[in-house]
Structure 1
């Protein structure tokens, strides 16, 4: 049997939990603080594979094994690895208070509606995108993905830009504003005499060296910190409907992506929590807003100043956040963080260059809506040249429209060609890990 004990957030070790242990595994600070029985072998956790091999040897001899972990070891912790190797039946888990629960408790904020994302040993960009899209996020940090890096990404434009240029890199806030009202709560050394809980702006977090004692970082929109009463914990559910009616958005002279086109575009874009989506030539921002409703972080690029205001107003009306950037593509795209998916709804004669620029940066998908069919070949070629597999469809729809005399006719909408490209996955064969 492997006894897994959560510790490190102030709760003492259960009495007698180490009695008779022949092997005690844990971080150096856990082993130093624990009353390890005399004669018991100790393994300091670093790489997991050697520790798991030692555990297996002791289990074969029926030796008692105790694993010391931080907080709740079943929450982004070692329980998953142990269960995969030895089976859930071999584990006796004694959870402690997770760093996430402790941090929210310290600031007096409920967290049943919080999103928890791990940046420990993972790509920071996912955490950055979740923090941009959601009002209440807990980020589990790690080396190279701490409060400074997270703050720099939120205060500027994204994790990739910060990794290229360093935490001090930035560009004018008007070009890429940080999420409105976001504050970082950095909790360090939770449960110890050195515990600190500090409220800082993303820019302030970026300017400091936080060391290695950070337990967790909360990213909060203070205006929505309390949230609403929920039945299901975790991130908000996906919207119950999409491809909203054009009347649900402010727009100019019917310059809006029609709902039928939006429905298929959303299906091809696949926006989800943790993604970053560009809406280029956003117009009213209807596609941007719909992607944000699915949980994606969204940047809407629009060359008309009044269009930027309209996008912001539409996002606010639907209760989501969209970064509205005033500028013309492709130049305005240069300093934006790399997207997962891109929707291109405008471009005119610049369209081939815009598609090329987007295809060069998109990680997964590019979707292009065109009313002029003579632009389809160049857009398709731009996607193919960038290594995308392409497909498309001409959308022609007719809507029910009333006629005098209580009868109905079919009113045709303008046909639109929707082209999409998906990046061909690159094989990992032969790549050193």
Structure 2
């Protein structure tokens, strides 16, 4: 099977090698738009992808076994394209890929941005809220659009998140004869929906006075909607440093409260995943709103009481327990769910939970620390310190089964 990238310029934009493969193929598979770009000299049987696509791939390929198959894809098939689904389903050895310049390459060429300094966010099949995590003053972001209505949705999001002055350029039909650019700012965006094949270039510019959100854990407490059940900023930063998220890892956030630990875990890298478990429905809804606002709408929120609500969840790489430590069986369930090398971090402010953590520390080792934060406040005409409740934190890495259970 050969996977061939094709651009908006269609057949004239293809190199001779790609043309030859398409003309010799017995079967041509692609979307209706791509297939329509081929001339009559490509005489193979034309087959449109079914929906949903991924489950149909094995059967579709098996139906044409032994025949020369050419698959058409937009731009570079391995950049947010069909190449990933085919590779994961059939294996890389089953494919030969002939890429075309991607829409991102074309967009950077048109606006003069170095590709290596440009962040790319895809909204194809994903909520627009994902863009929020990439918004930082002065950054350049390319948004892969899902259709003609995406630019207006992006403009709305930029205004809502305090980035209304950001310049937006909507680049349509890149590389084709009908290439077009609509220009403006999010605050003043009035362009009507245009071509569905578009990429949005955003020069991020924060509204003066808007809340500034950094790229590392420890966002301002004001970034969250909460009822007081919030791991405060400085303790949150220390907790995320101890949890040490790495790309692709999954966190269980048990006793989610406002969801701040799970949200900031996911903000560290686009591939980080998290499940937060919260027993109060009102708080669970609040967690979802915080996740959406802060750019991680993929956060999974489970409403229920742990440890029962943990049953059936995918195995975590790390567990954070921010509440409910004394619930019977909770620590045992979290410990049992962790694989070797997994991390567990638990915070508490009560003596009862502190005693429990001290007991587990004696059994399994790790680090037991006390985090104390004080804030300067007015004292008459002077300034003094107001101490927040100290937080006791236990953190541990689960050893391999063949190692002794002695503290290390």
Q: Is the Cα contact below 8 Å between 2:28 and 2:71 reproduced in 1?
A: yes
Equivalent in the alignment of 2:155: 151
Distance 1:258 1:75 in 2: 37
Distance 1:9 1:154 in 2: 28
Cα separation, partners in 2 of 1:261 and 1:70, compared to 1, 3 Å: closer
Unaligned runs of 5+ in 2: 207-213, 220-231, 249-259, 292-303, 310-321, 326-346, 350-368, 374-384, 394-408
Q: Is the Cα contact below 8 Å between 2:5 and 2:77 reproduced in 1?
A: yes
Equivalent in the alignment of 1:77: 81
Q: Is the Cα contact below 8 Å between 1:133 and 1:296 reproduced in 2?
A: no
Equivalent in the alignment of 2:3: 4
Equivalent in the alignment of 2:91: 87
Cα-to-partner distance string for 1:189-219 (whole Å, 9 max, x where unaligned): 11111101222212444x4432443321122
Give the CA deviation at 1:17.
Answer: 2.4
Find the residue that maps to 1:97 and give its secondary structure: coil
Cα separation, partners in 2 of 1:104 and 1:74, compared to 1, 3 Å: same
- Of 33, 50, 63, which residue of structure 2 is paired with 1:57? 63
Find the residue that maps to 2:120 and give its secondary structure: strand
Provide the aligned C-alpha RMSD in A: 4.8
Cα separation, partners in 2 of 1:220 and 1:272, compared to 1, 3 Å: farther
Distance 1:89 1:269 in 2: 35
Cα separation, partners in 2 of 1:55 and 1:260, compared to 1, 3 Å: closer
- Of 118, 121, 138, which residue of structure 2 is paired with 1:117? 121
Cα separation, partners in 2 of 1:269 and 1:183, compared to 1, 3 Å: farther
Give the CA deviation at 1:53.
Answer: 2.8
Q: Is the Cα contact below 8 Å between 1:71 and 1:97 reproduced in 2?
A: yes
Find the residue that maps to 2:61 and give its secondary structure: helix
Distance 1:37 1:52 in 2: 28
Q: Is the Cα contact below 8 Å between 1:132 and 1:154 reproduced in 2?
A: no
> What is the correspondence of 1:216-235 to structure 2 with a 5 Å cutoff?
216-221=199-204
Q: Is the Cα contact below 8 Å between 1:18 and 1:66 reproduced in 2?
A: yes
Q: Is the Cα contact below 8 Å between 2:172 and 2:179 reproduced in 1?
A: yes
Equivalent in the alignment of 2:287: 362
Cα-to-partner distance string for 1:217-270 (whole Å, 9 max, x where unaligned): 1221379xxxxxxxxxxxxx976xx889xxxxxxxxxxxx79567413776797
Unaligned runs of 5+ in 1: 158-177, 224-236, 245-256, 274-286, 298-339, 342-354, 367-382, 400-411, 421-433
Equivalent in the alignment of 2:44: 40
**What is the TM-score with the length of structure 2 in the denominator?**
0.54
Q: Is the Cα contact below 8 Å between 2:147 and 2:198 reproduced in 1?
A: no
Equivalent in the alignment of 2:313: none
Equivalent in the alignment of 1:263: 238
Cα separation, partners in 2 of 1:37 and 1:389, compared to 1, 3 Å: farther
Give the CA deviation at 1:80.
Answer: 0.8
Distance 1:362 1:181 in 2: 28
Give the CA deviation at 1:136.
Answer: 1.6
Does residue 393 in structure 1 map to residue 366 in structure 2?
no
Distance 1:364 1:152 in 2: 17
Find the residue that maps to 2:116 and give its secondary structure: coil
Equivalent in the alignment of 1:179: 163
Find the residue that maps to 2:22 and give its secondary structure: coil
Does residue 189 in structure 1 map to residue 173 in structure 2?
yes
Distance 1:147 1:258 in 2: 34
